[in-house]
Structure 1
């Protein structure tokens, strides 16, 4: 029985891709939002005291910013310049890797009421002016308006804005819409608890409370990660992150088929079975039993070293038992 127990422990440790990160549960308990940059650093925003705190992957605090009004973190993909927008203060801040303010853009003197701001780069902003119903392209370095477009969409329940490839992406709590600069709607899809956009090269992702979706241009929204028990989810280029029961978990993208909670596990299982059966059918067509076993062992080693080690362990156990008899 002890040998069988060790075999099951070996299999579990080899295939498990979920990893619990060492961040104190007290730091996560009141988290309103969480973002992860590509270096594995985590940004925790708490609405209770309007604080934004940065931690490294080991849970060590790198920096903290105490704000006087609510701010929304747009993106942490460039950790050297993280943009934060406040509808209440009508301003946008940029903070550096140590959470020190390096730039502030005040909208009160030049515009009506800015509902949402999107920092395209370190020079240009896109602003949704609710008072004039216009989308404004603004160079904040020299304080000049580059372009202005009529944008008579509903500003209610607006969560995020993104401009990419001559298209305007608008996210509310319940919908994601895509427009042209002529205010022509080219896509619309229902979303539950939408929070923000994330752009990865040419792909546009939508982050909700417990789900991450990828936009297929003009067609559909594809669910790439979901855990209905999660409080907050996010991703960087290497992993998915989630806060669940006040604990922080990481799922590696290298093992995403095994690690991420999916709504269609039966489909994944069938696909895996087909991948295993195809080599068996091809092998059975020719060759002696010894050759078949050798080929099968080689295929297992190439596909999954953990399975190969497990098979060797079982064979050794069988040999010992035979010798004992």
Structure 2
């Protein structure tokens, strides 16, 4: 009976870990990218018609933009102000929670050619100016350049850019690299099919086609989610999301049952476990001895009385 209960428990965990969200497969068809904010809203970008659409967790459409040229949506962690950059149009747009445009920044008026723009907050953006080979920290509210850093690296295949804690994170078609603001290389790793960065507090993550990586304290990339059959993957602070066979799946972080586990337990953990077990066996006779001594003292006390 106890064995049956254990089986039912693990079966329940695997079923509860994966959930199909009620989004029509037609809405997911031909999706080029998907992003999820922390309220459970989903953003679908389609390369075919350059449309950018927002849905709530029930599949209801909240807003839609029809763009005339390709735009790359950045993170949606602040759904009140979502940034989209277009290298073709040399523009950065900010849209509100209903995907209404609230501000547009035209780089053609002030710069030669911006390879990429990363919106740090609601005042400052980082610009990769390809013509002058400089990384610029730019305040778009008062249209002033705060800092300018020279770089001599080739970023023709640049996919995404993030600046945080005086470090520059660069994602290209085949690599992930970390630099200082002086463009001294701190880390480099081969990585294909990368799409964008996501930052949660001090943790930098990389969203790839069907894999999500975490950058571990400047030492290594750790795979935290993978499904080879997924068309698109993403995450928010509570769950992982994936589109597979034109259906939307959610995996909770508490009961994450990603198709491939992260890593096997480290050998040192197994050794510690054995050590704990041996210590338990060693301490068990001492405990029995102590109980016997207490009983003997109590019996002697009763006889004396």
Task: Give TM-score, length-normalised by structure 2.
Answer: 0.84
- 1:225 maps to which residue? 225
Distance 2:137 2:10 in 1: 55
SS at match of 1:13: helix
Post-superposition CA distance 1:58-92 (Å, at most 9, x none): 11111111100000011100000000000000000
Higher gyration radius (CA): 2
Q: Which consecutive residues of structure 2, in runs of 5 or more, have no partner in the other structure?
A: 289-305
Post-superposition CA distance 1:140-191 (Å, at most 9, x none): 1111111111111112211000000001111012111111111211111111
Distance 2:79 2:111 in 1: 28
- 2:12 maps to which residue? 13
Distance 2:140 2:238 in 1: 33
- Paired residues, number: 281
| Map 1:98-177 → 2, pairs under 5 A | 98-177=98-177
Matched-pair contact (CA < 8 Å) for 2:13–2:255: no
Task: Give TM-score, length-normalised by structure 1.
Answer: 0.79
Distance 1:76 1:135 in 2: 23
Aligned in 2, Cα 1:24/1:145: closer, same or farther, shift over 3 Å? same
- 2:190 maps to which residue? 190
- 1:206 maps to which residue? 206
SS at match of 2:59: coil
Post-superposition CA distance 1:12-36 (Å, at most 9, x none): 2344211111111111111000000
- 1:317 maps to which residue? none
- Cα-Cα RMSD: 2.7
- 1:84 maps to which residue? 84
Please identify which structure carries the higher helix content.
Answer: 1
Distance 1:260 1:30 in 2: 24
- 1:49 Cα deviation from its structure 2 partner: 0.5
Matched, 1:261 2:259: yes
**Runs of 4+ residues deviating >3 angstroms:** 4-11, 263-268, 281-288
Q: Which consecutive residues of structure 1, in runs of 5 or more, have no partner in the other structure?
A: 289-325
